[in-house]
Amino acid sequence: MMIKPIVFLSGGIGMTPFRSMIKYATDKQLPVKIIMFDSNRNKQNILYKNQFNEWINANKNLKIVFAIIDEESQKQSSTSSSWTTARGRIDKEMLIKRLSSDEVNHAIFYVCGPPEMLNAMKRILEDKLKITKQRTFVYLSFRLACFINASINHLFFHVSHPYTDIS
Look up the pTM and report it: 0.80
pLDDT tens, residue by residue, 121-138: 999 999 999 999 889 887
Instruction: Compute the mean pLDDT over every residue in the chain, rounded to the nearest whole number.
Output: 81
8 A C-beta contact, residue 60 and residue 25: no
8 A C-beta contact, residue 56 and residue 83: yes
CA–CA gap between residue 141 and residue 18 (Å, rounded): 11
Give the mean pLDDT of 92-113: 94
8 A C-beta contact, residue 67 and residue 90: yes
Nearest to 39 by CA among 11, 6, 79: 11
Chain centre distance of CA 121? 12
Task: With H, G, I as helix, E, B as strand and everything else as coil, classify residue 157.
Answer: helix
- Sketch out the chain's domains with CATH numbers: 6-160 (3.40.50.80)
Question: Quick one: DSSP state of residue 42?
Answer: S
